[in-house]
Structure 1
Amino acid sequence: MGDERDKASRLLRALRADGDELFQLVRDSDPEVLFNLLKNPGFGEEHLLVLLKRHDLPEGLLKAIDQRIRGQAGHRLQLALARNPNTPAATVLRLLPHLYLFELLDLCTLPGPTPDQRLAAERQIILRLPGEELGNKLSLARRATSAILQILIRDGDPRLVQACLDNPRLKEVALLQFLRSGKANAESISQIARHPRWQQHRQLRLAILKSPKTPAIWYTLWLPRLKSGDLRALAAQRSLQVRQREMVRTEMKKRGLA
């Protein structure tokens, strides 16, 4: 009986409270009390921001919050609702276009959001990339996820390539795709070739040597250390420039392979 009276009292307070008492009721563990808070005309944006920091809110309450603020929510509320890990996927998808670029990046990289939220935020960033200025792309490249880096490096700008190379989230497959895409030039190829993290990767070295845009210096440095099987495969590469092909043949003759 005492518990029922206490709950009834809290439910009534949630409807009538104001001031600091509203911030106290935001911590209540009973979802019914929280639902009643949403009906309180004094329960405003600051109270909602505190409430949305909780990671134990039921989906139904988050839907109710969305309904309450839809069409009139300030940016801070939209961001807080999108960041809550229990916010329904449909709500998150609707909110993401309203978030700023680096707020989306935070959703991708900081603890808290669910895998689905991270993926949706990544897709939203990728959709915006064609219209972003180089400065924003450079800032993104320093912190971005592997999926975003895979798109960014295709830009081909040497400054952007360098920023992507220095990001530990960059995957080898992104570099292989870039080298085969035709967008890599002599400068960006050399950036990859001399980067301390990537220069020892065998598949990358082969991809670099197969590119007709690769400067001759990398043939001079790498051909003597190339395995004979890889050297033969390189000799069969039709896309090589005349100078590159001559250097491969010279190395094969040295080994008695020609």
Structure 2
Amino acid sequence: MTDLAAALLDAWNGGTAVPATTPPPADEAAACAVQEAMVAALGGIGGWKVGASSPVAPPGSSPLPAPCLIPSGSAFTGRMRGVELELALRLSRDVPAGAALALEDFDAALPVLELVETRLDDWPAAPALLKAADLGNHGALVLGAPVPGPFPTLASLDAELRFDGAVVAHTVGGSTAGTLEHLLAGLSRRPGARFLKGQVVTTGALTGLLFAPVGAAITGTLKGVGTVEARFTP
């Protein structure tokens, strides 16, 4: 395990936050290695996150620790209390090593809330590769109920996010990534990744990143898919 992975894990478990001035991984492959070491120590892979800043930008990704996938209605204690409403897909089968992911490999979609957290002491100032190493600022993924396909397109997906009942974001086609196919192709290129039946792949923010107040109740709704809820403990 690298020194960076060990420091991030210590911070995850309540230790000292990692300085944003820490030298970042040398490249994306090195950041992925830090992610994988962290997830192995945190209980193994339960899913994946993938996102892209544009329809032509290379997608970035991270494995998600299995214990951090939690059901709708869960309470979560967070320092940042960042929230992203997203669409996730559930794998219906193991995908052979080296094979490309396709929509046909998934049997259900579900609304999810990614709760965004950091192990860094000054998150806005941290370089991108340091944030990537920190599981892409992952805290938890709150899972709504799965619904069978056909799957909605990102370009037409209607998404609404509420804090304590008040609408804080409403978008149609709010994803920056273009298509699900673009994201799956990018995730497929991650070296050494294994994609297994039952894992979920979450596909990036539909309403942007918003920060909830202390104690807030969070409700996210994807039209035609469903609703997912969480709350932040004071």
Say which structure is richer in helix. Answer: 1
Give the TM-score, by structure 1 length: 0.25
More strand by share: 2
> Taking CA–CA contacts closer than 8 Å with sequence separation of 6 or more, which of the two structures ends up with the larger relative contact order?
2
TM-score normalised by length of structure 2: 0.27
Structure number with greater Rg is 1
